[in-house]
Copies of this chain bind each other. A is one copy, B any other.
């Protein structure tokens, strides 16, 4: 399904941590600045107990919020509404691959190594696997097809130190692992690729049996812009709401704690609002 017509989505989360000692936290829990114009209700990170919040835009263009969490239960929550075109991720098989010299300056950093993406170690492997595939859209799509079919999904395979090389050799992973491997392969082929996180409800697809979570996908730079790809689901999807992009998951963690923060509860909502009900958040 490529379109369901314009709609309103309800977005939100309720995340709770147990905090043993005062801890600085950076949260990337707002809709990405590029989507702010679509909001139909305030997109406000609620922090309980109340803390002094500071907001800023990081070097990747994401909206970040900083605060100090006090000992006890920390609750981060939000509920908002956003307009959505109802169109699936655009597909453009004619989007061509730019030679590195024609890339915009700020795309270059997405060709480099990063914590979870050991581009240097995949130089030969990427060429062996995809050197024969026509450049451009079809090559990125070939990377997605390959990662999608080769890696098996399982929450039990998640771990915070898992790199693209680990994913490749272990053949198992979660959402972020699929994207890290695809991002790394694209970069090794000299195609800028960046990691993306956000909301992705089950819109236009059968409901997933898994509990709703934030989702990860990635963007590749082709022709003249960034395009959405998703090595985990590997199909154009309706209703993605971007929150952050970066070189890999290390740059765009939903929360980064500089001290102990034990996750106690985690729920995410991203769903189409039935017509006529979208007046209140």
Contacts and interface: CB of A to CB of B under 8 A. Distances in A.
Nearest to A112: B250
A10 to B, nearest CB: 31
Contacts of A54: 105
Contact of A112 (B168, B190, B256): B256
A121 B170 contact: yes
A56 B106 CA distance: 9
A135 interface: no
A101 B161 contact: no
A115 interface: yes
Interface in A89-117: 99-101, 105-106, 108-109, 111-117
A150 interface: yes
A125 interface: yes
Given A125-B168, A159-B159, 19 more contacts: A26-B108, A59-B106, A59-B109, A66-B105, A100-B258, A109-B251, A112-B115, A112-B250, A113-B115, A113-B116, A114-B250, A118-B161, A118-B169, A121-B170, A123-B171, A124-B150, A156-B156, A161-B170, A165-B169
